[in-house]
Chain A
Amino acid sequence: MSSVNEERLKQYSLLVIVPSYNEAKNLPNTVADLKKFVPWAEILVVDDGSTDNTAQTATLLGCRLLKMPFNIGIGGAVQAGYQYALAGDYDFAAQFDGDGQHDAQSLPGLLAAAIDNQTDLVIGSRYLENNGYKTPITRRLGMRVFSRLVSLIVKQKISDSTSGFRILSRRAIVFCAGTYPSDYPEVEILPLLHFAGLKIMEAPAKMKARSNGKSSITWTKAIYYMVKVVLAITITVLREMPVRKREVV
């Protein structure tokens, strides 16, 4: 693995986008960790219509804040963050969950991977190293289906396609600020970036069990999630087909 030298990483401006929905309890820890491991980065909390004190907490912690007037969904919230990163001319943007699931300690490693390999999207993967993360069995099946499907389309192995722990280059920020799926975007964006000619890779990342609150995905949502993402990926591939034919002819 590449060396994680803070002085070297500091040369690049980094915006950490923290999508948050009712995370007032988790935010103080999340932000403290981020300040510890990426002290030079700017932290942008995107409050997606929370009903608790998420926005006030973010401001008190000294974060930048985008407060959505109502809940617009994770895709729209994260995209607003990328639009902010684009306007602010950042070299890199990170996506980092506000619920305390992601370990900020892995962030410098992801950034180093993006810089060293000149990659547009680095996905923090739970499964590259045996780091003790146990996925619930019910979820593992769905995740495996997505990862297989996505790996097939982007023609490289993606072990953790649903991970929302990511680093985006300037090119990826430009793309995502313009085009980003609205619900359950993590898997769907991968084929889109691939067909746009952007480079994707994975790097190991630690993730913890959620410290407060419960996952946003319930059973009925899980079925909708599966169907919707598979449909969206199929359509993305269909969209690309005429282009490919034209290139051949």
Chain B
Amino acid sequence: MFLRTSLFSFAFSILLFIFIIELIRRRKLQERYSLLWLGVAVAMMIVSLSRRLLEILAKAVGIYYPPAALLLVGLLFVIALLLHYATVISKLSDENKTLAQKLAILENKLDERS
């Protein structure tokens, strides 16, 4: 049972890794935002392959069934990614506002000149 879970999650992380690389290659994902994703894929590969690591991890956080720890690891990564995007969006919206303000002031200057 454990072997199947491990194999599935390993295969999935490899596919994820390839998919991320392909997205960057097609310029649909910037390198800057791909690093965290690549890190997640590699970490998932390691955790799903090493049963010992998973058992240690499960024991440390008090989970009796080690494969369930895989789920926890995955969830934590998702939370980290979401938080990362929240900061990215905050920066983008700040910059977007600044751009709109500068543009409005430029337009006003042009209008007043003509």
Asked if residues B102 and A69 are in contact (CB atoms below 8 Å), the reply is yes
Q: A182-B32, A228-B35, A235-B31 are in contact. Are A70 and B25 (CB under 8 A)?
A: no
Asked if residues A235 and B30 are in contact (CB atoms below 8 Å), the reply is no
Asked if residues B34 and A70 are in contact (CB atoms below 8 Å), the reply is no
Asked if residues A232 and B31 are in contact (CB atoms below 8 Å), the reply is yes
In the complex, which residue of chain B has the Cβ closest to the Cβ of A227? B35
Asked if residues B32 and A69 are in contact (CB atoms below 8 Å), the reply is no
Mark interface residues in B2-36 (1 if CB within 8 Å of A CB, else 0).
00000000000000000001001100001110110
In the complex, which residue of chain B has the Cβ closest to the Cβ of A67? B102
Return chain A residues, CB-CB under 8 Å to B102.
69
A197 to B109, CA, bound (A): 43
Q: A235-B24, A235-B25 are in contact. Are A69 and B34 (CB under 8 A)?
A: no
**Is A33 located at the chain interface by the 8 A CB criterion?**
no
Asked if residues A182 and B30 are in contact (CB atoms below 8 Å), the reply is yes
The count of chain A contact residues (Cβ–Cβ below 8 Å) is 12
A90 to B35, CA, bound (A): 37
Asked if residues B34 and A238 are in contact (CB atoms below 8 Å), the reply is no
Which of A224, A227, A231, A238 has most chain B Cβ within 10 Å? A231
Q: Nearest Cβ in chain A — how far from B28, in angstroms?
A: 12
In the complex, which residue of chain B has the Cβ closest to the Cβ of A71? B95
Mark interface residues in A206-249 (1 if CB within 8 Å of B CB, else 0).
00000000000000000010011001100100110000000000
The count of chain B contact residues (Cβ–Cβ below 8 Å) is 14
**Is A183 located at the chain interface by the 8 A CB criterion?**
yes
Q: A69-B98, A69-B102, A70-B95 are in contact. Are A238 and B25 (CB under 8 A)?
A: yes
> For window 62-105 of chain A, which residues contact chain B by CB distance below 8 Å?
69-70
Secondary structure class of chain A's binding surface, majority of residues: helix
Q: Nearest Cβ in chain B — how far from A241, in angstroms?
A: 10
**Is B78 located at the chain interface by the 8 A CB criterion?**
no
> For window 180-210 of chain A, which residues contact chain B by CB distance below 8 Å?
182-183
Q: Nearest Cβ in chain B — how far from A49, in angstroms?
A: 9
Return chain A residues, CB-CB under 8 Å to B89.
none
Q: Nearest Cβ in chain B — how far from A186, in angstroms?
A: 15
**Is B99 located at the chain interface by the 8 A CB criterion?**
yes
In the complex, which residue of chain B has the Cβ closest to the Cβ of A233? B31
Q: Nearest Cβ in chain B — how far from A94, in angstroms?
A: 27
A228 interface neighbour in B25, B31, B98, B99, Cβ under 8 Å: B31
In the complex, which residue of chain B has the Cβ closest to the Cβ of A229? B31
A182 to B30, CA, bound (A): 9
Asked if residues B32 and A70 are in contact (CB atoms below 8 Å), the reply is no
**Known contacts A69-B99, A224-B35, A228-B31, then 12 further A-B pairs from the complex at CB < 8 Å, ordered by chain A residue:** A69-B102, A70-B94, A70-B95, A183-B32, A228-B32, A228-B35, A231-B31, A231-B35, A231-B38, A232-B31, A235-B24, A238-B25
